[in-house]
Structure 1
Amino acid sequence: MSLIDFKGQVAIVTGAGRNLGRGYAIDLARRGASVIVNDIDSACADAVVSDIVAAGGKAVASYHSVATPEGGLAIVAAALTHFGTLDILVNNAGNVHAGLFATMPLSHFEDVLAVHLKGAFCVTQPAWAIMQAKGYGRIVMTGSAGGVYPEQGYSEYATAKAGLVGMTRALAAEGKEHGILVNMINPQAGGSTMTQDANPIPEIAYEKSDPDAALAPYKSVAAISPLVQYLCSSQCSQTGMVLAAGAGWYGRVFLGLTHGWAVPGAGVLPELEDVAANIARITRTREHIVPHSPSGEMHHIATRLGLLEA
């Protein structure tokens, strides 16, 4: 396969001052993209720009917050002002407040949703207008295993990341006819500054699991970035996907429907006891399908009831 490059393309990476975002910005620039390096920490954003320029690349810093419509517009405007267009958006900015749900302040919940979920909206919407007009765009959302397999102590983070799954899939459905592909990356890259800065929760006993210890030496930004670069490239044809990566492994996360249990015929209404007696069949995942739309779920139900052929 020939080398994939981003020459002539313009990318925005939010939260690009450190860790994953920094790696994405540098790698996109190394392959020819002109990059808007967005981070509210101006010193970190400037440092990444300096690294890119020193290596012969093109980059400009943006310090605006993603969490407001004005900030999102300003970030996208920087791409137009400095480079004339926009082809790629990586929504990577994030924050977290660790805490148990029972005692979580509403302000913590809202703060995390404002950056992850509202922030993705505020930057993506003005970017979308440019991409739709030109008939081309690549958008990468940043999810998390914590959004699809959440653990205790991070309900606000899990809610924000799960919301981004819905946004990714909805925008993929809207964008495909305009040449805009939207996917999500769930990275396993080790402790980021964001997670390291989160205060531990005294009520939770933290233990490092065997998989954590085994993977720790191999988790890195460099093991995540190639998949993100692919999703940003013209070679990518997938959309609406949630993909996971870590330590050199890459795979797909998906939502599915079990084969389930159906009443004897359409129009037969079950009793509570019927559902209870069949709950194992309802929840068994050995047989499943992956619908691509709500109508796919309805088709599955209709076939299970004998109303349509499979």
Structure 2
Amino acid sequence: MSVSFKDQVAIVTGAGGGLGRSHALMLASHGAAVVVNDFGGARDGSGGTTEASEAVVREITAAGGRAIANAGNVASEADMAEMVEQALSAFGRIDVLINNAGILRDKSFAKMEIEDFRRVVEVHLMGTTIATKAVWAQMREQKYGRILVTSSTSGSYGNFGQSNYGAAKMGVLGLMNVLHLEGAKYGIHVNAIVPTAATRMTGDMMDPAMLELLAPELVSPAAVWLVSRDAPSRTALLAGAGTVARLALVESQGVCFTGQEFTPETVGARFDEIASLDGQIEVMAGLDHVDRIIANARAALAKKD
């Protein structure tokens, strides 16, 4: 099945290099007009320049594509509102938003300053929220939109020295889950990419032999498919080194203590049963979990009677 973004407009944040650049180039090669956003700061978020975004725009236009540069800061509501106005003025609509912009300020939790924690959350979680909020009304009005958030295994699994980054990256998955529900009737699909790639952000963290296998171009096909017309919603794909897998949040069948002794001791005694993933369940909405545990309790009470 061919994937085309003909007559569509995409915004990619943090697109001056690495994953964002790769996503922007692939979107353009599949027909999208692209707003290449990049604040142009250092890895820790300091500084700022338009050079990176303008260079990617030149790559796209040299290949016959359409693109404009934007140097807005995703953590600024005013900048993101201006970016949306720029996109609408240039291209008339917004179909796709890929939230990719990010910074790193890694330290162990004991050594980390709260300001470093706050700043990473501001860019990754709040920046994603602010950029998404900026396009939301337009997508609702046109009854179509594709939004991608960028998560990380540092959140889903953990990575030493990245408490700020991991917390923010799990936060965007929660945002995805809720916006999937709220956007459904407006034709807005919200998904997540969980990449592993060699970029400016990660290049000094990995062995050179590993870096060769982790080109950003081995993530972008999954990311771009997740914002295509035929994409699902509320789907998180892990992608890196040519492997694509689905990340799912599941819960165990658990134990219902209704009508039984329920103490810390009984929880401990039955922990292995509680934790067993035999018969695991993927719950698709918070209220589905509530329905399940209420049904368990009612069944237990009926059995007791």
TM-score by length of 2: 0.91
- Residue identity (%): 37
- Matches for 1:34-45 after TM superposition, within 5 Å: 34-41=33-40, 42-45=50-53
How many residues are matched?
292
1:276 aligns with: 268
Name the CA distance, whole Å, in 2 between partners of 1:158 and 1:137.
Answer: 27
1:162 aligns with: 170
Q: Secondary structure at the match of 2:149?
A: strand
The answer for unaligned runs of 5 or more in structure 1 is: 201-206
Name the CA distance, whole Å, in 2 between partners of 1:152 and 1:115.
Answer: 20
Structure 1 residues 84 and 180: CA distance shift in structure 2, 3 A = same
- Tell me if 1:194 matches 2:201: yes
Contact kept, 8 Å, 1:10 with 1:35, in 2: the verdict is: yes
Name the CA distance, whole Å, in 2 between partners of 1:33 and 1:113.
Answer: 30
The partner residue of 1:301 within 280, 289, 293 is 293
**Alpha-carbon displacement from aligned partner over 1:13-53 (angstroms, at most 9, x marks no partner):** 00000010001101111111110000012111110000000
Name the CA distance, whole Å, in 2 between partners of 1:248 and 1:120.
Answer: 26
The answer for unaligned runs of 5 or more in structure 2 is: 41-49
- Tell me if 1:98 matches 2:106: yes
**Alpha-carbon displacement from aligned partner over 1:181-210 (angstroms, at most 9, x marks no partner):** 0000001123x212347xx8xxxxxx96xx
Q: Secondary structure at the match of 1:258?
A: coil
Contact kept, 8 Å, 1:95 with 1:115, in 2: the verdict is: yes
Code of the residue aligned with 2:255 in structure 1: it is W
Q: CA deviation at 1:216?
A: 4.4
Aligned-pair Cα RMSD in Å:
1.9
Q: CA deviation at 1:110?
A: 0.9
2:46 aligns with: none
Name the CA distance, whole Å, in 1 between partners of 2:38 and 2:211.
Answer: 27
Q: CA deviation at 1:287?
A: 2.6
Contact kept, 8 Å, 2:203 with 2:211, in 1: the verdict is: no
**Alpha-carbon displacement from aligned partner over 1:133-181 (angstroms, at most 9, x marks no partner):** 0000000000111110012210000010010010011101100110000
Code of the residue aligned with 2:284 in structure 1: it is H
Name the CA distance, whole Å, in 2 between partners of 1:307 and 1:135.
Answer: 42
Q: Secondary structure at the match of 1:94?
A: coil
Code of the residue aligned with 2:11 in structure 1: it is I
The partner residue of 1:243 within 237, 246, 250 is 237
Name the CA distance, whole Å, in 2 between partners of 1:299 and 1:122.
Answer: 33
Name the CA distance, whole Å, in 2 between partners of 1:289 and 1:26.
Answer: 38
Contact kept, 8 Å, 2:101 with 2:123, in 1: the verdict is: yes
